[in-house]
Amino acid sequence: MNNHFISTIALLIIVWSVSGCGNCSGKLSPEAERSMYDLSNGATSTEYENETEAEQPKQPKRSNDGRDQETRLRDCRPDNRDEGMARVETGESLAWPARLTNVPEQVLRRKAYVLSFNTETLLPNWVAWKLTSEETDGPWKRKSAKFHEDFDIDPKYQVFPSDYNRSGYDRGHMCPAGDNKWDKEAMRECFLMTNICPQLHSLNSGDWNSLEIQCRDWARQYGEIYIVCGPIFFKKSNKKIGRPRRVTVPVGFFKVILCMKGSPKAIGFVFKNVPGHHARNEYVNTVDDVERIVNMDFFPALPDRIENRVEAKANLDDW
């Protein structure tokens, strides 16, 4: 068997492996295809979709705090292995969702949270953080911070506070200012525009804010909780704001919460980006249901036996 034949066989195996791997195709399930705003048209997830490594835009020379880009932009996700309860109970990485394969994402780590930024919607796909009882209060108030663009994003994808001017939408925090009063840098970073989505004022200051307050109460009650939230898009939704109009307006928002104290439990919430007020239990969903809506996998670092149990149940009375 000559070397040319061996090389040909090896190449075919590599091509088959890349093109045929289970979930690498980026195709959505039927349920997710009906619900998810399909921005990537089946492309796999890269930092900048449909660009080779050589073609990717150069990173901006400065970051928000002066740290080098390799440090600030590293992908911090854990793998999906069962890492043992000692890690699961304490590690902040427990909040991080599995890698996305259906939309573009650029993963950015902040002092208080990690986010996945979408270069097409110009919004986060998700924002995740661990909230402890000690972090629910502190000396740093939101008036000490201002909304500002994120220098860790390539300039052509940067969103500016002015993009929201006269849009009819608030600059809605995903990781809220109220969770970041414990540290000056954390408070400043939560005002980066990559942590912001267009929210109607009645939602931002109403039921969404009410759940943020409740999460801080739960963190004080249980010592720590894990939170993931982000926008929801549907195919029919294409409203945009900004000049030029380029920031996509979500039709809704999700939030999932995990508590590991005692018997582990989790709960999900889904909000429409519309005016009005409803009882909190009307927003409740299982984490499994939220995963189907947004086509994401939450809390993948949990042992399967725990993940399957807590994500299938949602009872507000348990909290």
Q: Where are the alpha helices (DSSP H) in the chain?
A: 3-20, 30-35, 69-72, 85-90, 184-189, 201-204, 207-222, 287-294, 304-311
Read off the tokens for 224: 């720590």
> Helix (H, G, I), strand (E, B), or coil: what is residue 73?
coil
Listed in sequence order, the residues at least 6 apart from 285 whose beta carbon sits closer than 8 Å to its beta carbon are 268, 269, 270, 293, 314
Listed in sequence order, the residues at least 6 apart from 76 whose beta carbon sits closer than 8 Å to its beta carbon are 93, 96, 107, 109, 114
Read off the tokens for 88: 């699961």
Q: How far apart are CA 266 and CA 136, in angstroms?
A: 20
Among 173, 201, 277, 278, the one annotated catalytic: 173
User: 276's torsion region: left (phi>0), alpha (psi -120 to 50) or beta?
Assistant: left
Q: From the CA atom positions of the chain, what is the Rg in Å?
A: 20
Q: Count the Cβ atoms, other than its own, within 10 Å of residue 183.
A: 15
204 annotated as ligand-binding: yes
Q: CA geometry: angle at 134 spanning 130 and 139, to 5°?
A: 115
173 is catalytic: yes
Whose structure tokens read 């043992």? 84
Q: How far apart are CA 171 and CA 164, in angstroms?
A: 7
Q: How far apart are CA 251 and CA 233, in angstroms?
A: 6
Q: What residues are designated binding site?
A: 204
Catalytic positions are: 173
Q: What residues are designated binding site for Mg(2+)?
A: 204
